[in-house]
A and B are shown apart, each in its own frame.
Chain A
Amino acid sequence: MFNPSKEKTYMPVQDANVRNKNFDEVSLGYDCNSAINEANRCLNCKNTPCVSGCPVGVKIPDFIGKIKEGKFEEAYEIINNTNTLAAICGRVCPQENQCEKNCVRAKNGEAVAIGRLERFVADFHLNNSSDDNIKKVASKNQKVAVIGSGPAGLSCASELAKRGYQVTIFEALHLAGGVLVYGIPEFRLPKSIVQKQIDHLISLGVEIKTNVVIGKTITIEELKNTYNYKAIFIASGAGLPRFMNIENENANGVYSANEYLTRINLMKAYKETSDTPIVKANKVAVVGGGNVAMDAARCAKRMGAKEVYIIYRRSKEEMPARQEEVEHALEEGIEFKFLTNPISIGKDSNNFVNKIRCVKMKLGEPDASNRRSPIVIENSEFDIEVDCVIMAIGTSPNPLIRNSLSDLKVEKWGGIIVDEETNATSIESIYAGGDAVTGSATVILAMGAGKKAADSIDKYLSLKK
């Protein structure tokens, strides 16, 4: 029965003043009834504008159709055919810029809550199925190495394992998941969900080796010659944090968002039982306007900071962060300083940060990226007193692999150059994808790249046999 409501079906969330003190998941997800209710808002458009907004082309009206019928497991199968990380994407994709942006219902009211429905279906599957009887054994005797266990690596490994290849994922950290475990906080993406996705991969026969840095522990040469991997997929991400190169940026209490988030998420600094030290700050400034900035700010609040500012040089409209994260941050008491840019950091006699000096900005003409570029307003300097600064202004591709592989062609800024159709690099049998190629982008784009590379690797290896 069609649901004419102009608004999305409500998804319960933890109260803002409760959740800003804990690390439990903020959004609580739909139950069966609200999922069906929301699914019934879908018009099942013949030309599927939503699908064209999805970077991996999930058959959205089809899976929503199954939800309408209460066939949740079948809905899951439809998503899983194109997106093997649905529980993650349902939580972290910027749906408002992708599928939901094109939704016909958004022309007069809110879009169908495609992201929430995807999440519901994926969670339903995770809670009601088990991997116990999957136990797949590789049917092909060709070995493929995947470097990095973030979204691109996981999706590539899963595709190849399903096609019977012997896949090994190499991860530099002690835990698999890449940015999904060190970057995105527990309250936005519970680590148990990431772990379930990884366990699923293992049941498909994928081997995961943690504590291995390719280029250091094992070289690419060795992967090929000593260990006999027939193809390699580089998905080492864009881990190298950028700094602003302003005065006193190395003062104590100034973190890259990567470090701050890693200490909290991967190293569990928020738990009593953890040995991981972290500066316990009262007033925190986070510089940047993306999801990572929101994550860092919201973590700081949860770690007990009284005042947390997000400093962003453009205005709210230009912020790259997911809309829901911005709203949640606001509700949790994060203060936004738009059209503001830091020019220096101040420190006390013990080298600890004590203020951040900013200037006011205004928006000028649109630049090459079609965003209006910020211009400094003269004589607008002012100081904000802080005892912690977190730089969340982006990351560059990790240099370790390209430094150890001189033949690999890379862009000036470090991104690995690949053939757009195949994700092949300049070296035969080596493919690359995700942030290592594009620079920091989204989980879903990285996933899509992993899948595409898996197709190419499959083709390449089938011909070689």
Chain B
Amino acid sequence: MFKIIKKEILNPTVTLMKIEAPLIAKNAKAGQFVILRVSSDGERIPLTIADYDNNTITIIFQIVGATTYKLNQLNENDTILDVVGPLGNPTNTKDYKKVIVIGGGVGCAIAYPVAKQFHLEKSNVTSIIGFRNKDLIILENEFKQVSNQFYILTDDGSYNKKGFVTNQLEELLKQDSSYDLVIAIGPLVMMKAVCNLTKIYNVKTIVSMNSIMIDGTGMCGCCRLTVDGKTRFACIDGPDFDGHSIDFDEAIERSKMYHSIERNAYDHVCNLLKEEKKNV
């Protein structure tokens, strides 16, 4: 059992939790993830480690399905049934001098520890983070602190500059050809758009793939994707891959595999919990 030390509502659909998990915290590195399970007979879902110290790990999640909904029902001092990790390979933050870190929506939770790690390794960090609107913004100050240049955009212009992260990226790439890495983390369509752009400007691009997972140890193959024409497993070969080699269209379709089923499960759980509340 893993105790929730702190819970913070970052915005209406995104929550942060600090969880007591000393074993995981000890070996965790930026870019790695955990898999957790909230109830018996429940799903196992992967979530990136957004931060860690000696004793705890921090996760930031968006409420998108039955499991994240149930997770969000838990409060400080409650426990999470199962948490396993750190899984996947850490992001390689060495060997790069000038990087652009791009975070989209809740993907910023993953992009932030990576930006922080680059910063600690003394790279020059440019961060571009984007959100649908003002209410969904997370980690703005955290990013600022680890970035040499910082840009924040909203799709609808309700905060700061209006536009997509790719607009800002293109502006930068046009002016300056000395970036040696772009790292993009967010929705698949955003990562795809970033990669299409950086291909034109010929800048190496790493993306973090948030595939559907079960075990996270290479056992099931449900996290598989096509990279350079070959099948790879996101959990043990990734989650970071060269963005210019990924078959994004396939990955986007695979991510929708259970959409209709999940929607039903989500509605079902929400209704159940509402019923419960009424009856208390």
Contact = CB atoms under 8 A, between A and B. Distances in A.
Interface of A: 172-174, 182, 210-213, 216-219, 239-241, 243, 245, 249-253, 255-256, 258-259, 262-263, 267-268, 271, 273-279, 350-351, 398-400, 403
Contact of B217 (A251, A271, A274, A400): A400
28 contacts: A172-B84, A172-B215, A172-B217, A174-B81, A182-B219, A211-B82, A212-B84, A216-B217, A217-B23, A217-B86, A239-B218, A239-B219, A240-B218, A240-B219, A243-B224, A245-B231, A251-B253, A252-B254, A252-B256, A255-B221, A259-B220, A267-B44, A267-B214, A273-B41, A276-B41, A398-B218, A399-B236, A400-B236
B87 interface: yes
Contact of A262 (B87, B214, B258): B214
A278 B250 CA distance: 19
B42 interface: yes
B201 to A, nearest CB: 29
Contacts of B85: 213, 216-217
Interface stretch (B139-147, B181-189, B261-269): B261-269
Given A252-B253, A400-B218, 10 more contacts: A217-B27, A239-B218, A251-B253, A252-B257, A256-B221, A262-B214, A267-B44, A277-B257, A277-B258, A399-B236
A275 B43 contact: yes
A111 to B, nearest CB: 36
A400 B43 CA distance: 23
A239 B217 contact: yes
Closest 8 CB pairs of A and B: A351-B253, A259-B220, A239-B219, A277-B258, A256-B221, A211-B84, A174-B82, A277-B261
B209 to A, nearest CB: 13
Contacts of A351: 250, 253-254, 256
Contacts of A273: 41
A398 B235 CA distance: 12
A288 to B, nearest CB: 14
Contacts of B221: 241, 243, 255-256, 258-259
Contacts of A250: 224-226, 231, 250, 254
Contacts of A262: 214-215, 219-220
A279 B222 CA distance: 13
B222 A255 contact: yes
B37 interface: yes
Contacts of A243: 221, 224, 231
Contacts of B256: 252, 350-351
Contact of B83 (A211, A240, A252, A274): A211
Nearest to A263: B214
Interface size class of B (residues with CB under 8 A): 35 or more
B91 to A, nearest CB: 15
A263 B224 CA distance: 16
Contacts of A275: 39, 41-43, 66-67, 265, 269
The SS class assigned to the B binding surface is mixed
Contacts, number: 122
A354 to B, nearest CB: 14
B257 A256 contact: no
Contacts of B262: 277
B206 interface: no
A212 B219 contact: no
A212 B216 CA distance: 12
Nearest to B86: A216
A274 B41 CA distance: 5
A414 B209 CA distance: 25
B50 interface: no
B214 A259 contact: yes
Contact of B219 (A210, A241, A276): A241
B263 to A, nearest CB: 10
Among A173, A278, A350, find the residue whose CB has the most chain B CB atoms closer than 10 A.
Answer: A173
B136 to A, nearest CB: 25
B100 interface: no
A267 B220 CA distance: 12
Contacts of A279: 257
A256 B44 CA distance: 17
Nearest to B257: A252
A210 B265 contact: no
A173 B83 contact: no
A70 B217 CA distance: 47
Contacts of B207: none
Given A262-B214, A262-B215, A277-B262, A216 B87 contact: yes
Among A182, A210, A212, A250, find the residue whose CB has the most chain B CB atoms closer than 10 A.
Answer: A250
A379 to B, nearest CB: 28
B70 to A, nearest CB: 8
Contacts of A245: 231
Contact of A277 (B87, B218, B265): B265
B236 A267 contact: no
B128 interface: no
Contacts of A210: 82
Interface string B137-167: 0000000000000000000000000000000
Interface in B23-58: 23-24, 27, 37, 39, 41-44
Contacts of B66: 275
Given A259-B222, A262-B219, A351-B253, A217 B84 contact: yes
A138 B44 CA distance: 35
A463 B215 CA distance: 39
B23 A218 contact: yes
Contacts of B39: 275
Nearest to A236: B217
B33 to A, nearest CB: 11
Nearest to B43: A275
Contacts of B218: 239-240, 398-400
A219 B27 contact: yes
A212 B23 contact: yes
A271 B219 contact: no
A239 B85 CA distance: 18
Contacts of B215: 172-173, 239, 262
B245 to A, nearest CB: 15
A261 to B, nearest CB: 9
A271 B41 contact: yes
Interface string B244-280: 0000001001101110011001000100000000000
